[in-house]
Chain A
Amino acid sequence: MERGKLPTKPDLALSPAVPVQDLVADELSRKMQTWSEAWFGAGSGETSAEQSRLRQRLLFWLKRLLGDDAGTMLSENTQDLSLAKSTPLLTAFLGRKAMVEVSRRVLNDE
């Protein structure tokens, strides 16, 4: 996932009235949202293209490592499938070290 830089100076030309703290908080909030969607899934909300790619990669690893039906076993609706839901099962059968690698591949692979 791309790591963005926090703004150091407010862009006064664009919004002179917005204080620096608000810009930082917005950026942080956006990052938190992206990470929580990556980890917990988008839930019932609309899924982004990135979210859908993450889920596809997670499904790929679940199928390769555990079995074809591992995804549906974890969540009846594969749209709800997330790293948070898969982590306990994958960690139990592969170990923490391997699970760290799986998470890295799910989050970083293109």
Chain B
Amino acid sequence: MPRAVSWIWMYCAVHVALGAIAYAHFLITGSYQYLTWYFVIPGTLFFLVTAAAEFYLAFECRAGFDVDEPMRMVWTTITLTSSARFLAATLIFLDHWRFARVPASPLLVLGLTPPQSLAEIGEVIGGPIAMVLLAFALGRVLAIQREFGILRGLTRADIVLICLIILFTLGEAANIERYLGPAYPRRSVAQAILWMSDPILGFLLVEAVLIRRSAHRIGIGLVSKCWGMYVIAIMATLAGDAAIWGAGEELFTQNLVPLTWYIWFFVAAAYASAPAYQLAAMKLPQLPRSELNDSQKT
């Protein structure tokens, strides 16, 4: 495993272990005190660090391609995606610190009060906007894969999956239409954009399935692992979204709901690992033979 990927997942493991202690405290005492502290402070810090790492690694990958190479555009878009996620993490971080009233908060020290809509703006940038950019980048990857004959056609299972996603999107649209009636308060532009998350996620899932098929065809190398990480991140995002829906529909007990929040840490770690694999592939041929043999053993 490349060193950067090991660091990301080690940080994730330590962070989740810390979260397990907070969760155990919640289960034993029933108090949300430590659980809230964990998600507001180390939790938002984790998103900030992984988004920053993702941005740096994606930027380095972009620099490895010349301007006229097709993958340059892909990595430029992925760099924009990661910068959107980083900006979103920063806005949500600021919002949480305001909410948490942490004594050492720089905002309190400076006497600043961030606007109420900060988290909502962050959700829009880190959600639908980042997803649209990623969908464009993955679309370009699929086009390049098709050019080289790596891309496989849709199987019957893929077609069924796409039909299910279309049905799900239509169902969502029907639900949204219900909330647009006069009985409900007028929705903000941010909320209207956030409604687009699920259809875009569905589209990303289709792309992820196609990329997964291609990766299966070519085998498991560093480049395949890079695109495999995006597939894992998209699948985990879908699982996180499904958990939010399940919690809203009261499908889980109160004790289980906080457990579903941990999914988002794996999403962030997977997103950061993807460019780390690509960069490892680009740097591997420069390694001296001794280090190459070492990396082969791990």
Contact = CB atoms under 8 A, between A and B. Distances in A.
Interface of A: 61-70, 73, 88-89, 91-98, 101-102, 104-105, 109
Contacts of B66: 95-97
Interface in B133-183: 144, 147-150
Nearest to A60: B296
A73 B145 CA distance: 12
A15 to B, nearest CB: 42
Given A66-B219, A69-B218, 18 more contacts: A63-B219, A65-B221, A65-B281, A66-B218, A66-B222, A66-B223, A67-B218, A68-B220, A73-B149, A73-B150, A73-B218, A92-B71, A92-B147, A93-B71, A94-B64, A95-B66, A98-B64, A98-B283
Given A95-B65, A109-B289, A64 B71 contact: no
B219 A98 contact: no
A64 B221 contact: yes
Contacts of B147: 92
B71 A102 contact: no
A95 B221 contact: no
A71 B161 CA distance: 31
A2 to B, nearest CB: 19
B224 interface: yes
B282 interface: yes
Interface residues of B, number: 28
Interface string B76-107: 00000000000000000000000000000000
A35 to B, nearest CB: 20
B282 A70 contact: no
B70 to A, nearest CB: 7
B70 A98 contact: no
A93 B148 CA distance: 11
Interface string B213-253: 00101111111100000000000000000000000000000
Contacts of A88: 148
B284 A92 contact: no
A32 B221 CA distance: 33
B285 A66 contact: no
Contacts of B223: 65-67, 93-94
- Count chain B CB atoms within 10 A of each CB in A65, A67, A69, A88 and give the residue with the most: A67
A91 B69 CA distance: 9
A-B pairs with lowest CB-CB distance, top 6 = A67-B219, A68-B219, A101-B285, A67-B221, A67-B218, A69-B219
Nearest to B150: A73
B286 interface: yes
Contacts of A70: 218-219, 221
B297 to A, nearest CB: 13
A8 to B, nearest CB: 36
A64 B218 CA distance: 11
